[in-house]
Structure 1
């Protein structure tokens, strides 16, 4: 399978992994500053609620984003890596991808609403998995822009 825009594909791939590394937060880099003032947390301040109890912790510090957001960012990066493979086995039709994304968005909404209303309590792991599914399916939307079938 031929990549139509290899420079753009590679650039997005690099940026996706940089976003994931930054989202992991200061614990990855053994920063000593209090986590709320670290540059990683400031970078994502407008994008994520950054509630420490809803974040994975590394080296005694919460990630710069919550578990759902780290799932979204890492899922997008993984989905982007898998684009060439998935396009070569021809399972990425636009209509299916959009339906899958809508269903996954609905699952995330139901999970958040159920937790908010007290029907159940979601976990770091469940939020990360649902976020990862959302991020990877979002990456699949771009398969037609970079690969021909």
Structure 2
């Protein structure tokens, strides 16, 4: 197995984990500023609804993103980190992976709609798991761009 663009791959891996670290919010850093004004929350303001009741809390403060978003970001980081291992499994059908991503996106939308219309009550954990599956499957789309067998 050979990495085609090792610096780019490593940079994206590093940045993905930085995003997850920042998304954990000010509670991780023991900030005393009210959470809506913390730089971590401001960083994700236009990307996530940041409803405190839909977020995990650290040290008495909600994360900078909701549970589904932390699942997406951490799932992508984990999926990206596992790309070399998945490559060893010799998965070459990117069209198959794209179908999985679309399925996971639809599954997340269905979960949100079902909760919205009162058909069921999703939880922080269920949102995180579904978001994680979406994020990790999205990372797999790039498998052919960075790795190949010799």
On whether the aligned pair clears a TM of 0.5, the verdict is yes
In the alignment, the residues of structure 2 paired with residue 15 and residue 132 of structure 1 have an alpha-carbon distance, to the nearest angstrom, of: 17
SS, match of residue 32 in structure 2: coil
1:84 aligns with 2:84: yes
Which residue pairs with 2:145 in the alignment? 145
After superposition, where does 1:1-149 map in structure 2 within 5 Å?
A: 1-149=1-149
Superposed CA offset, 1:33-69 (max 9, x none): 1000000000000000000000000000000000000
Q: In 2 relative to 1, CA 124–92 (structure 1 residues): closer, same or farther, beyond 3 Å?
A: farther
In the alignment, the residues of structure 2 paired with residue 46 and residue 9 of structure 1 have an alpha-carbon distance, to the nearest angstrom, of: 26
TM-fit CA distance, 1:22: 0.3
TM-fit CA distance, 1:92: 4.7
In the alignment, the residues of structure 1 paired with residue 91 and residue 106 of structure 2 have an alpha-carbon distance, to the nearest angstrom, of: 22
TM-fit CA distance, 1:91: 2.5
In the alignment, the residues of structure 1 paired with residue 18 and residue 50 of structure 2 have an alpha-carbon distance, to the nearest angstrom, of: 19
Question: How many pairs align?
Answer: 149
Task: Calculate the aligned-residue CA RMSD, in Å.
Answer: 0.8
In the alignment, the residues of structure 2 paired with residue 125 and residue 67 of structure 1 have an alpha-carbon distance, to the nearest angstrom, of: 7
Superposed CA offset, 1:50-96 (max 9, x none): 00000000000000000000000000000000000001111252011
